[in-house]
Chains A and B, each alone.
Chain A
Amino acid sequence: DADVTQTPRNRITKTGKRIMLECSQTKGHDRMYWYRQDPGLGLRLIYYSFDVKDINKGEISDGYSVSRQAQAKFSLSLESAIPNQTALYFCATSGPGQRETQYFGPGTRLLVL
């Protein structure tokens, strides 16, 4: 089984809809991250969390919110989706003792019409 899983893997939604992307990890890591990837722009950090009580904004948090329901679960919400949020979304985790290596999920491909 994969260490970091994301659901759904693909999603098509309409402008104005609320959607949630979910991430679960079995690595026992405290730190979790959400990134988006756009063609030619690399990955950019949306939000990150060091533990259940700690949530921090990343480079491009506007239009997004997150919830850390448990150490193993970190969800990303788009309250009112817009077309320029069409992208590939990745969840990642990291923990001490492994030189802060980040482990990535398989990604969620989101299309906002």
Chain B
Amino acid sequence: DAGVIQSPRHEVTEMGQEVTLRCKPISGHDYLFWYRQTMMRGLELLIYFNNNVPIDDSGMPEDRFSAKMPNASFSTLKIQPSEPRDSAVYFCASSNYGTGVLAFFGQGTRLTVV
């Protein structure tokens, strides 16, 4: 298996633009997590899904952020409109409860909003 695949690896965008981050989880995993990593706040859980259903979105910072999981093999995190304070590395992770909740992480998307 290729692991969790995120795209793009790097994204630079102007303030006010819409940004869409993509994630393909490991096949067979039924949990998907979106995390944000910054120097100031460390790793923050934004939202997670179980069997494509959002379970906890309490970490989503504002209404500008939205996440979807239309099927078991794809998820998106969208920011509209983007702001400079959204600059961070965004990680997607997937896991299978049957393996003891071992989350496997993608390599992340480094987002820079100028």
A and B: interacting chains? no
